[in-house]
Amino acid sequence: IQSGHFPGAINMPYTTFLDSSGKHHNTEALTKLFKDAGVDLGKPIWASCGSGVTACHVLLAADRLGRTDLYLYDGAWVEWFKRAPTELIISEGQEKKA
């Protein structure tokens, strides 16, 4: 499949949430990361990634901030790409190819 993202997605690689020792940042730093990325912490948060695993870091970070309206799209980009209509595929300027 082609690489790409969902409409309206905000890219926050899981490593964003980790310090140099591999542990999650403190809650103050996590709040800043979300806000700097443009995430509205007053709305539900759903996360996904290429295969449905690393997105859990996003949800863990939000959970540490006391959020409870968290959702994981475990079908991930692979499922989305295969099932979504062409107009909902944003794939680095290319159209979805069947």
Residue type, 82: K
49 catalytic per annotation: yes
Give just the sign of the alpha carbon dihedral 21, 24, 28, 31. positive
Catalytic residue among 45, 47, 49, 89: 49
| Cβ within 8 Å of residue 91, ≥6 positions away | 2, 3, 4, 81
Contact 92, 4 (CB under 8 A): yes
* Alpha-carbon gap, residue 75 to 52, rounded angstroms: 6
Active site residues: 49
